[in-house]
Structure 1
Amino acid sequence: MNKLIVTGAANGIGRATVEKAIQAGYFVIAADKDAEGLRALNSRYGVDVLETHVADFSDNAVIKGFIAQVYERHATVYGLVNNAGIYHGKSVYAYTDEQVDEILNVNLKALVYLSKDFAEREMKHEAPRSIVNIASVAGEVGSCDALYGATKAAVIGLTKANAWNFAPFVRVNAVSPALIHETAIYDTIPEYRRAEYARQEILKDPILPSGVAEVIVLLIGESLRHMTGKVIAVDNGAYPR
């Protein structure tokens, strides 16, 4: 049974990814700062397929120590899904210094350390491994939340660079969702921005976390073993065109 780390695992896309991955036969190591959300996952799935960690990826010590903590219990891990993220939906002028540091840590710095620490341990096995980063169309076309857009643009750049850095054994790809319904973020997106997404979508079935999770699990697996350094849009055809 291949093992898969999923961050931001308690809600939204992360929770859906945990569920889809377990259905696909993975053992999932799920991390989130939402202890109650992780308890809900534990109540649904047993220890044979799920291990949970309460982890706040805004904390530098957690960012730098999390992968080492995982490898104290596991000799090898097949894949990593860097999903944890923050979105405030507000002007750059409204950010405090603390919030700037927080979003940079969660949305970008955590990916830097988790990815390199995972790859460093797994490349020695000289066997196929996989990382999927969660970007956003905001990283490609901009965002009303400048810090969110900037971090997601950086995730895209990091994905492409690490595809080179970690080759030939660790593939690195990104999923770039547009407007995702039924998430905590949805209600914080300004109404005019939600209307813009809806206007540009050429497929009208609302994108749900489960739909994004299906793409993540497909991309992490061996069926797409010839793809690396790619950004896969899940956007109902909205961006970019």
Structure 2
Amino acid sequence: MLNTMKVIITGAASGIGKEITQQCLREGASVIACDMNKHSLNELEAELKSPSLYTYLIDISNYTEVTHFFTYIKEEHTDITALVNNAGVYRGKSILDYRMEEIEQVLDINIKGCVYFSQFFGKFMVEKKHQGIIVNMSSVSGMEGSSDAIYGLSKAAILGFTKSCAMNFSPYVRVNAVAPTMVSTPMMDHIPEWRKEEYTNHQLIPEPLNAEDVAYTVLFLLSERSRHYTGATFDINNGCYLR
């Protein structure tokens, strides 16, 4: 399904990002896996053992590092076709308990990282007049609010940014967002129990949402089957929040 694609994935070494990486490779795509955890990147390489996998150690919130990364892309991967802005941080804290440096870290990674990568990728595709795809990882928290207000803020920003990029990068780059609810990853351990119970009690499909379920939606958005979608947000919430 993705045989001709080369995809940049941020936060690729664990959780949802790792699952997206695996599924992209399985479908025939090449992947440039970006992460700030060197050990996790090394483990990813060792586990997948794919000649189509390239890894890159980077702090996506550091503009200088992002600049160097896209210089590497222009020199080594001019056939790049897609970007998945997946990297994110969730602390599971009340806004009353956040320290200044924690606020900055969440906003830097969740918003600035997405903005920097989208800007460089979009500019590259528009200047070359190449067709490309961006998929942004938002969250139900961006629509419904979150017990972690800073995280909710960051994910709401991604929804507006997705629509704006769809306008700015048209007609060369399609830009869509995915907004999952609680996903069975280590990040879920930080969600308050009352929030988990609220979700469980209201979902219409009584099945846990796994990383692979989110990855399936991302792969659809990377494929030609989604060629008429841009500026859209895809809810994955088992019918818990009806819109």
Q: Smaller-chain TM-score range?
A: over 0.9
Aligned CA-pair RMSD: 1.4
Counterpart position of 2:6 = 3
1:209 deviates by: 0.2
Counterpart position of 1:35 = 38
Q: Secondary structure at the match of 1:89?
A: coil
Counterpart position of 2:15 = 12
Once residues 9 and 214 of structure 1 are traced to their aligned partners in structure 2, the CA distance between those partners, rounded to angstroms, is: 15
Counterpart position of 1:213 = 215
1:190 alignment partner, one of 192, 195, 200: 192
Q: Secondary structure at the match of 1:106?
A: helix
Query: Which is worse superposed, 46-55 or 153-162?
Result: 46-55
2:82 alignment partner, one of 79, 87, 90: 79
Say if 2:125 is the partner of 1:122.
Answer: yes
Runs of at least 5 residues in structure 2 that lack an aligned partner in the other structure: none
Q: Secondary structure at the match of 1:56?
A: coil
Runs of at least 5 residues in structure 1 that lack an aligned partner in the other structure: none
1:33 deviates by: 1.3
Counterpart position of 2:231 = 229
Counterpart position of 2:112 = 109
1:57 alignment partner, one of 57, 60, 65: 60
- Percent of counterpart pairs with the same letter? 38
Could you give the per-residue CA deviations for residues 102-127 of structure 1, whole angstroms, max 9, x where no partner exists? Answer: 11110001111110100111123323
Could you give the per-residue CA deviations for residues 1-31 of structure 1, whole angstroms, max 9, x where no partner exists? Answer: 3210000001111000000101111100001
User: Does the Cα contact within 8 Å between 1:141 and 1:240 map onto a contact in 2?
Assistant: no
Once residues 65 and 92 of structure 1 are traced to their aligned partners in structure 2, the CA distance between those partners, rounded to angstroms, is: 34
Once residues 180 and 39 of structure 1 are traced to their aligned partners in structure 2, the CA distance between those partners, rounded to angstroms, is: 24
Query: Which is worse superposed, 42-51 or 170-179?
Result: 42-51
1:47 deviates by: 4.9
1:34 deviates by: 1.8
Counterpart position of 1:161 = 164
Amino acid of the residue matched to residue 146 of structure 2? Answer: S
Counterpart position of 2:142 = 139
Amino acid of the residue matched to residue 81 of structure 2? Answer: Y
How many residues are matched? 240
Once residues 41 and 72 of structure 1 are traced to their aligned partners in structure 2, the CA distance between those partners, rounded to angstroms, is: 24
Q: What's the TM-score once normalised by structure 1's chain length?
A: 0.95
Once residues 137 and 67 of structure 1 are traced to their aligned partners in structure 2, the CA distance between those partners, rounded to angstroms, is: 30
User: Does the Cα contact within 8 Å between 2:63 and 2:116 map onto a contact in 1?
Assistant: no
Once residues 125 and 225 of structure 1 are traced to their aligned partners in structure 2, the CA distance between those partners, rounded to angstroms, is: 19
Once residues 155 and 131 of structure 2 are traced to their aligned partners in structure 1, the CA distance between those partners, rounded to angstroms, is: 26
1:38 deviates by: 1.3
1:70 deviates by: 2.7
Q: What's the TM-score once normalised by structure 2's chain length?
A: 0.94
